[in-house]
Chain A
C-alpha cells in the first residue's frame, strides 16, 4: 500500500512524544519532556493572542486549592439535604413512614411529594424534567427520589434519610429493552400506549434495492454498554432565599444556568427575573450536568419555603445510580458492499435503552442521523427506537449518540475489510468523502463543513509506521500466549448541536470596558474545566490589544450573562468564541470612533496599542485610552453626535451551517462543525488472562484552528483516556431485578494513571469555513475511537480463532470466554501454537 505525501498546513507541526523516561538528577525537564517540536509554541504568558499556547489562568486557583465549587459555598445558618431513594426498580409506593426520622436530632423536616404539593401548587414537573421531582405513587428505578430530609448537618440529614421507611408493592421489572418493546410488556408510564418514548425512521428511496443488488452484505449486531460520565465533582446545589427582595439565589454544579433558572421559576411559580442561578467552578461534567435535575428544583423550593439556605452534595452512589446514564444502544447494521470494498448502502435498526424516562434526549437522534460517519454513503435507511426500562434515565455522556454510531460503524468497517480481504486502512480510503466534496451533504442532510480525511488517515499510518507494524505483527505471533493486534478507526464528531425548541445555534458575549479601561467579560456559556477563561481572554486581548491583566471573565451567572444553552456538545469554540471575537470587534470599533472624533482623524487611521490609541499615518498623534472611557461615560458631550454613551456591547454569532427546517424527507443539519480523528492502536492480548496491553496509540486529530493548542491537546488526551475507560473498564451492570450491581468507585472502574498508555497525538488544521475563527469543537472526538479501535485490534489479534467481540467493555473475563468458546467450536484448528498453548 502506498501513502502519498499528504498536504500539511502551516500549523500541523504539533506532535508530542509522550514516551517520557524517568526523572534523573541533573537533566532539565524539558529536554526529555519535550512539549513541541517548535520551542516558540511552548506555553507562555507573553504571547496571548488567538492560537497562542497561553498558560491557563484558572489553573492558578486550582493548584492553590482556592477554586470555588458549589459545596465550597458555605452560607451562614445553612442546612443540609439528603434524599430517600427507591430500593425497588419498579413498584407502587404503599406507604412512606417518616415519623421516626422527624424525631431525630437536627431534623428540620422530611418532605415527600405529598408534603411538597401541600406547601404550594409548586414543584410539579415542568417540561424538561423527566419525572416529578419526587416520586408520587410509583418508583421506576433504583435510586428514584421518594423523599428529602432537611437537617442541621450533613450527617444528621443522612441518618434521618436512612430512618424513613418505605413500603413497596413490587411491579414487574423491565431491564431488557427488547423485552420492553414486546406488545405484552408491562407499561412504565400508564398514560402511554407502549414503552417506546421515541421512534425515528429515515430512508432514501432506493435503500432496499441496493441491498438486493449488492455483491456482499455485511451484517453486525453491536452493543455500546451503559456507562456514566463520572465528573470528579458530583452534582451539588446550594440555595438561598431573601424574603425582603423576593430573590432566590441558587448555586449549581451545572452546564447551563439559564435552563435551570427558567425551570426553577416555572416550578416555583416565581418571576424568572427574581431567580438567580450561578455556576461557579464546575468540577467536570462530560454531559452529566446538562439539563435540569429534580434536586435543583427541590432545594430551591425548600430554601424558599423554610427560609433557610440549603445545601445538597450528591454522593458518588447517587451519581452512579440516580443521575443520568449514557450509551446503551444496540445496532443491527447492514452494509451493502461492492466487491472492491465500496459501500453502496447502509441499513440499521437501533434499539436504545433510555431508562426510566418519558422524555427523549438527543442520543438517539444523533446516532440516527450520523450512521454514515466519514463515508460517502448516500443510500441510507435507519429505524430507531428509544425504549423506557427500569434503569436510571438516559442522558448526555460525552459523545452522546455519536459515540454509539461511530463505534458500530467503525467496528463494522473492519468486518467489511476482513470479509473482502482488504486492508482496514484501504477500505476506509476507498469510502471516505473526498476533500473536494466539502461542504458535503450526507444522506440525512448533515452539512459536513470541511475535512481532509484521506490525508488524516495517511498521516496516522505514517506516524504509526503502519506497514512496519504489520511486518512486526507477523513476526511477533510466535510468542507463547500473546497475540499482537492492530486496530484502525476513523471518526467524525458532530459538534455544536442546535435545533428548534432546543437552541444552541448562536453564541453571545457581553463586554464592558470600565472607566479605568479594565474589561469585564460575560460569556453566555460557562466552563467545566475547558479553560474558557483563558481562551476568551486570549480573544479579547487580541481584539483590544490589551494585556490580559486588564481582562476579567466572569463565572456563569444568569443575572450577568446573556441567555445561553449551557456548555455541551463541544459548542464553545464553534459559537461562543466567535461571539467573543465579534464583541471585541464591536468594542474596538466604538473606541476608535470616539478616539477619531476626539483627535479629528478617521477611525480607520487609528490603532489600539495597549492603553494608547495611535494614528498609523501620524504616529505622534495619540490619545490615552482613559480619555476614550471618560468621554464614553462622563464627558458624553464630546462623543460623536450620533453615538450612544458607555462602552458596553454584546457580540452575537449565529452559526450559518445549521439547517433548522426539515425537508420533505426529514433531512436537516443539527450540528455546526465536524472535527474528526484517525486512530491506529496496537495491542498485545494475553490469551491466558484475557488482559490487553495497549502497546501504541496514535491519534491524528483535526478540529480546525486551535484557539489554544495546549488546551486542545490536554482536552484530547483526557478524551482518549475516558474512551479507553469506556472500551476496557466501564460498564453499569443491572441484574434482572433492576438493581445496579456496581454503584461505587470500588466496582465501577475508572482508568487510573496505570491504565493510560503512551499516547502519540498529532494535529492537522482544516478550518471550518463557517466561523470567523475557523475552530471546530474539540471536547469529545477523542472519546469516540477507543471502543472501535481497540475492538478492531482485538479481533485482529484473534483472527485465527475467528473471535467476534460484539459487546463492551473488553474485559479479561469476556475475552477469555470468547477465546474458550472459539476453541470449543473447533475453529481453533487454524490457531498458532501460541494461542493453542494459551
Chain B
C-alpha cells in the first residue's frame, strides 16, 4: 500500500492505496466523490474526466499514486459556495444533459478548455469534447451550452 496525499477541490486528502488504484476509483470509492463516472476504463468515453494540474484528463487513465502532491478538480468543485458556474448554468439552460451520466466529464473537458481559451471557436469546442461520448443528446445542445458559457465568461472579464 502506498500513501497518497492529494488536494481535491481545494481540500487535502490522505489515503493508503494499492499502487494500481485508478484515480477514478480513488475519487469515487475512497473519497466518496461520485461525480466522475466510469463508462469504459479504456480512456475513450470521457465520463471520468477531471482536471489534474489544471488540465482535463481521463481519471481512468491515471493512477491515484501519480497524483500525490498535486491538485485535482472534479465536477463537485465547479460550483462556488453553492452557486453554479457559468458552464453549469449553461448546460442546464441549453438542455445539454439528459441521463446525466456523461455530464460531469463533459463539464470538466469544457471547463479545461475555457480555463486556457476564453473565446473558443466551434471547432475548438468540438476538439475539446471529442474525447467525451454522449449517447443521449447528439451533442448539439452541449456545443451550444459551451459557446454560451464562453461568451458569458469572456464578457464578465
Query: Chain B contacts of A231 at CB under 8 A?
Result: 99, 101, 135
Interface residues as binary, A198-240 with B (CB distance below 8 Å gives 1, 0 otherwise): 0000000000000000000000000000000011111000000
Taking the complex as formed, is B69 at the interface, i.e. its CB lies under 8 A from any CB of chain A? no
Query: Chain A contacts of B59 at CB under 8 A?
Result: none
- B88 CB contact (under 8 Å) in A29, A63, A715, A754: A63
Taking the complex as formed, is A72 at the interface, i.e. its CB lies under 8 A from any CB of chain B? yes
- A232 CB contact (under 8 Å) in B101, B130, B139, B141: B101
Looking at chain B's contact residues, is the secondary structure mostly helix, strand, loop, or mixed? loop
**Interface residues contributed by chain A, number (CB under 8 Å):** 70
Instruction: Give the contacts of B71-95 with A (CB-CB under 8 A).
Output: 74-76, 78-79, 84, 88-95
Interface pair A55/B34, CB less than 8 Å apart: no
Interface residues as binary, B94-111 with A (CB distance below 8 Å gives 1, 0 otherwise): 111111111110010000
Taking the complex as formed, is A746 at the interface, i.e. its CB lies under 8 A from any CB of chain B? yes
Query: Chain B contacts of A750 at CB under 8 A?
Result: 133, 135
Interface residues as binary, A97-136 with B (CB distance below 8 Å gives 1, 0 otherwise): 0000000000000000000000000000000000000000
Interface pair B35/A25, CB less than 8 Å apart: no
Taking the complex as formed, is A64 at the interface, i.e. its CB lies under 8 A from any CB of chain B? yes
Query: How big is the B interface, by class?
Result: 35 or more
Expressed in whole angstroms, the minimum distance between the Cβ of A477 and any Cβ of chain B is 29
Interface pair B21/A230, CB less than 8 Å apart: no
Give the complex CA separation of A560 and B78 in angstroms. Answer: 34
Looking at chain A's contact residues, is the secondary structure mostly helix, strand, loop, or mixed? loop
Interface pair A529/B136, CB less than 8 Å apart: yes
Query: Which of B39, B88, B90 has most chain A Cβ within 10 Å?
Result: B39
Asked whether A23 and B147 contact (CB < 8 A) given A283-B37, A746-B44, A752-B130, the answer is: yes
Give the complex CA separation of A717 and B139 in angstroms. Answer: 8
Interface pair A65/B154, CB less than 8 Å apart: no
Query: Chain A contacts of B131 at CB under 8 A?
Result: 752
Query: Chain A contacts of B11 at CB under 8 A?
Result: none
Instruction: Give the contacts of A1-48 with B (CB-CB under 8 A).
Output: 18, 20-30, 33, 43
- A72 CB contact (under 8 Å) in B34, B89, B93: B34
Interface pair A29/B99, CB less than 8 Å apart: no
Query: Which of A63, A231, A313 has most chain B Cβ within 10 Å?
Result: A63
Asked whether A281 and B99 contact (CB < 8 A) given A718-B135, A722-B135, A753-B126, the answer is: yes
Expressed in whole angstroms, the minimum distance between the Cβ of B153 and any Cβ of chain A is 10
- B101 CB contact (under 8 Å) in A28, A284, A313, A756: A284
Interface pair B133/A64, CB less than 8 Å apart: no
Look across to chain A and name the residue whose beta carbon is closest to the beta carbon of B90. Answer: A29
Taking the complex as formed, is B1 at the interface, i.e. its CB lies under 8 A from any CB of chain A? no
Interface pair A718/B35, CB less than 8 Å apart: no
Interface pair A69/B151, CB less than 8 Å apart: no
- B138 CB contact (under 8 Å) in A23, A234, A721: A721
Look across to chain A and name the residue whose beta carbon is closest to the beta carbon of B101. Answer: A283
Expressed in whole angstroms, the minimum distance between the Cβ of B116 and any Cβ of chain A is 15
Query: Chain B contacts of A65 at CB under 8 A?
Result: 33-36, 74-76, 78, 103-104
Can you report 9 A-B residue pairs in the complex whose CB atoms are below 8 A from each other?
Answer: A23-B125, A55-B95, A59-B95, A61-B100, A62-B104, A65-B103, A316-B41, A715-B98, A753-B129
The 7 closest A-B pairs by CB, nearest first: A65-B35, A529-B99, A62-B100, A283-B101, A721-B138, A65-B75, A29-B148
List the interface of chain A (C-beta within 8 A of B): 18, 20-30, 33, 43, 55-56, 58-69, 71-72, 74, 154-155, 230-234, 281-284, 286, 313, 315-316, 528-531, 710-711, 713-715, 717-722, 744-746, 750, 752-754, 756, 759
